[in-house]
Amino acid sequence: EIVLTQSPGTLSLSPGERATLSCRASQSVSSSYFAWYQQKPGQPPRLLMYDASSRATGVPDRFSGSGSGTDFTLTISRLEPDDFAVYFCQQFGSSPLTFGGGTKVEIK
Amino acid sequence: QVQLVESGGGVVQPGRSLRLSCAASGFAFNIFGMHWVRQAPGKGLEWVSKISYNVTQKSYADSVKGRFTISRDNAKNTVYLHMNSLRTEDTAVYYCAKDGGGPADFWGQGTLVTVSS
């Protein structure tokens, strides 16, 4: 099983600041099989990024993804109030599909 | 637009069974795989199971293998999760999600399953 470790667990930032979220895999993952999701309280997750760096429909361009192999990054260039949420990474190239434990981006 | 509506959750005693349903609309259900993903209260996401569009492939997390069964009825645009021998650690919100060729690109609102005596 591929274990995904996200860091930090919590990121305390102010609106307008840059957020950098990390996801490290225990084994190499093809970027074609890597995604990021956003979840707000009381809501289901929403697909944010796929293929590690492609934005899903409707996702603003302040979100960007990068990485390959075992290290992946989600960057939010300038935080908007709507961006404060929990973010999960996922790999779906190897069964079982696995998610990271999540990074909470909170208002400082 | 894509809609996924889960139902069938509730409170159940350990060792009992429950069947979850997910009614899909707004897309060609019969050509997409479907997932079940769960989230225990205050915890992260755990993938549970996936079924291919034509039912030929099914996969499960180790934590549910042998106890849960995924199925679908393409005529009814519905995917199911049959859960047997439920344990307290199965308590979670269960989401169904459409497979967008890899990632889960649309999710339902979820249905809460509570396993408690």
pLDDT (tens digit per residue) in A16-70: 999 999 999 999 999 999 999 999 999 999 999 999 999 999 999 999 999 999 9
Q: Which residue among A32, A39, A96 places its CB closest to the CB of B62?
A: A96
B45·A97 Cβ contact <8 A: no
Disruptive mutation site among A32, A92, A95, A103 for chain B (greatest number of B CBs within 10 Å): A92
Indicate yes or no: CB of B45 within 8 angstroms of CB of A96: no
How big is chain B, counted in residues?
Answer: 117
**Chain A residues near residue B58 by CB distance under 8 angstroms:** none
How would you list the strands of the sheet with B18-25, edge to edge? B3-7, B18-25, B78-83, B68-73
Q: Check residue B98 and give its pLDDT.
A: 97
Which pLDDT score is estimated for A44?
98
Looking at residue B58, its pLDDT comes to 97
Do B70 and B36 touch, CB atoms closer than 8 A?
yes
pLDDT beyond 90 at B101:
no
Each residue's pLDDT tens digit, B23-70 = 999 999 999 999 999 999 999 999 999 999 999 999 999 999 999 999
Tell me which H or E stretch contains A104. strand A103-107
Strand partners, B68: B83
What's the average model confidence in pLDDT over B70-75?
Answer: 98
* A88, A99 contact by CB (below 8 A): yes
What is the pLDDT, as a whole number, of residue B65? 97
Q: Can you tell me the distance from the alpha carbon of A58 to that of B63, in angstroms, rounded to the nearest whole number?
A: 34
What's the pLDDT band for B102 if we cut at 50, 70, 90? confident
Other CB atoms within 10 A of residue A15 CB? 13
| Pairwise CA distance, residues B117 & B103, whole Å | 36
Write the pLDDT tens digit of every residue in A58-96. Answer: 999 999 999 999 999 999 999 999 999 999 999 999 989
- What is the model's pLDDT at position B64? 98
Can you tell me the mean pLDDT for A102-106? 98
Q: Is the dihedral of CA B62, A31, A23, A63 positive or negative?
A: negative
A-to-B residue pairs, Cβ atoms closer than 8 angstroms: 59
Mean pLDDT score, B95-107: 94
pLDDT of residue B113: 98
Mean pLDDT throughout A100-104?
Answer: 98
